[in-house]
Amino acid sequence: MATLLEARALTAGYGGPPVLHGVALAVEEGGVTALLGANGAGKTTILRALCGMIAASGEVRFAGERIDGLPTEAIARRGIAHVPDGRGTFAELTVEENLRLGAITRRDRAAVAADLEGALTLFPRLRERWRQQAGTLSGGEQQMLAIARALLLRPRLLLLDEPSFGLAPLAVREVFGALARLRAEAGVAMLLVEQNAALALDLADRACLLETGRVVLQGEAAALRRDAAVRRAYLGR
């Protein structure tokens, strides 16, 4: 399969000493790569660096073209939808307006309407909340809204930052069920940051293990699941 996203020697931080030290990673077309690691390992920082939200050096190629150095909005317009840490919904706006914003850069109205239908089929709960302010939704509903909004960009790559964070177990199942369907039916590639390693490795085909800003292990998700060190540290067995 062709490589959709490839980062090389990615170094980034927040003004002080760098958080990432020369990270290399890749996401295949239609594939799911999971980023695993402890708190503070640099998982969220990788997503932010890929999207141009923080200053970074190194090379990032998306669909063969360099995107490092581009402003965030230009990267989004190329088809990378980021569901950020804390979900990033527009709390003051309604569910409908949030979803309209997801497709704000698109001009193909008919396709947008179809994508909206698709997103609402994936998350039927959002239809019931249509006119409600996003800030009043439950955590699970906000996560669904954030993912649905990202899908309305019709992305080729979805960056997901801890989609299970703070959710009730039932909501986690619903969200990950939807992600699995997206992967199987729509073939959307994903780069998934997730604390829950078992959940992430179930969805992913590749995985990177991060420690203090460096990739210490990467490979097939199945292989990482069998790895003794990973099992001990992240899977609790």
C-beta closer to other proteins: residue 161 or 209: 161
Tell which positions 125-154 bind other proteins, by CB under 8 A: 149, 153
Closest CA to 148 of 163, 167, 133: 163
Q: Of the candidates 7, 51, 67, 167, which one interacts with other proteins according to CB under 8 A?
A: 51
Structure tokens at 12: 């980034």
DSSP 45: H
- Binds other proteins (CB under 8 A): choice among 24, 26, 38, 53: 53
Q: Per CB under 8 A, which of residues 87..106 are in contact with other proteins?
A: 88-93, 97, 100-102, 104-105
Size of the site for other proteins (CB under 8 A): 24
Q: How far is the C-alpha of 89 from the C-alpha of 86, rounded, in Å?
A: 8
Give the burial class of 185: count Cβ atoms within 10 A of its Cβ; 0-12 exposed, 13-18 middle, 19 or more buried: exposed
In the bound state with other proteins, the residue whose beta carbon lies nearer, of 153 and 193, is 153
Other CB atoms within 10 A of residue 180 CB: 13
Contact residues toward other proteins (CB under 8 A) are 51, 53, 71-73, 76-77, 81-82, 84, 88-93, 97, 100-102, 104-105, 149, 153
